[in-house]
Amino acid sequence: MSLSSTQTGAVTHVGNMRAGVYRGKGLMSVETVPIPAIQPGEVLFRVAACGICGTDIKKIQHGFVRAPQIFGHELSGTVVEVGEGVTRFRPGDRVVSFHHVPCGNCFYCERKFFSQCAGYKKVGLTAGFDPNGGGFAEYVRAMPWIVERGMLRVPADVTFEEATFVEPVNTCLKAIHKARVAPDETALVIGQGPIGLLLMLLARLAGADVVSSDPMPGRRKASLRFGAAATFDPVSHNIDAEVRARTGGRGADVVLVAVPHPERVVEAISLARPGGRVLLFAQNDPVTRIEFPAAAVGVEEKEILGSYSASIDDQQESAALVFSRSLPVRELISHRFPLENIAEAVSLAARPADDTLKVVITNS
């Protein structure tokens, strides 16, 4: 990378950078690519840390999108260049950025279904190729609508690693609100990976009595350490009996499904009480099909809800939860990898060991 001065005296970052490039199903390659050039109203920032999301893993491992791409949307870093007209940020600012922002004026935005807004579906962060987050690179370009409403300053006492959790916490907080988790309810969270643990923590903050399940001993241990009232192995435990014993035989008031397996959805529906809610968080790929008894909905009046991506209405609250350390997000990080080892990092996140929780890519 090199720096050059424009006729106005502004510093422009030119040259190349390193990036983890998706090259096809299951293929990640560390390559040299051009540093993105910014336009008026845009910001270039240097990525300090980027979490690996389950959505990234699905895209990479299953080849759901065309190559090449630079993924990574749970990112934070330092502003190094601002385009003409940018007044909210300046070089040196520590920031965290969302990659989607809704228009705020359409049919869906008026009804608070922000993730269904056509503008929201247009990704506003890129490190090259199609805009797709770009956090698996040294530098990222933020487009004007992201600069205006999707970037937040990170307090000096908050680490960049902690700041990467603002976006995933937002998605989980949206799910908790959508599921209407309330004080004194019994909530079951199926799956205790990084997202399942965040859902468990947020359900506890909402006042629920929270239990969890996961087949991995290390994740069950983490669940108890972070505050679950109880946790069960779905292989060796009769979870139905355990949940009914805690609820007077009724079943859980709300079940949050944080794993993508179809059989877990069927299980969740059976574990919810009549009139209860089942929130599907991880069921976001285009090929999975799920079958369940119609009477569970048509007779027992159980609700099946979906929650996808973040909500701009929860932007400030999610940031406050992270920045105030109301959530122990740094303790959720189990593995850190440099960008050059991104293939190994993605492989571990896709096929976690017993001690694997959140996997983060860091740039020195």
E strand or H helix at 123, and its extent? none
E strand or H helix at 275, and its extent? strand 272-280
Output the DSSP codes for 170-224: HHHHHHHHHTT--TT-EEEEE--SHHHHHHHHHHHHTT-EEEEE-S-HHHHHHHH
- In angstroms, rounded to a whole number, what is the distance separating the alpha carbons of residues 150 and 100? 7
What distance lies between CA 169 and its chain's CA centroid?
Answer: 7
Q: Which amino acid is located at 309 in the chain? A: S
pLDDT for 3 equals 52
pLDDT for 64 equals 87
Residue 121 token pair: 């579906």
Report the 10 Å Cβ neighbour count for 107: 10
What distance lies between CA 340 and its chain's CA centroid?
Answer: 22
pLDDT for 8 equals 39
pLDDT for 284 equals 85
> Is the sign of the CA dihedral 134, 137, 142, 143 positive or negative?
negative
What does DSSP say about strands 303-306 and 333-338: parallel, antiparallel, or unpaired? unpaired
What does DSSP say about strands 94-97 and 151-153: parallel, antiparallel, or unpaired? antiparallel
E strand or H helix at 315, and its extent? helix 315-323
Domains and CATH numbers, the chain: 2-168+311-362 (3.90.180.10), 180-306 (3.40.50.720)
The model's pTM is: 0.95
Q: Which amino acid is located at 113 in the chain? A: F
Q: 261 CB contacts (<8 Å, ≥6 apart)?
A: none
Report the 10 Å Cβ neighbour count for 333: 20
Measured CA to CA in angstroms, residue 193 lies from 190, 200, 206, 356 at distances of 9, 10, 20, 8
Could you give the 3-state DSSP secondary structure of residue 348? helix
- In angstroms, rounded to a whole number, what is the distance separating the alpha carbons of residues 316 and 327? 15
- In angstroms, rounded to a whole number, what is the distance separating the alpha carbons of residues 258 and 179? 13
**Residues 168, 194 contacting (CB under 8 angstroms):** yes
Average pLDDT per block of 10 residues along the chain, 364 residues long: 46 89 97 98 98 95 93 98 98 98 97 97 97 98 98 98 98 98 98 98 98 98 98 95 97 97 96 98 88 96 97 97 98 98 97 97 91
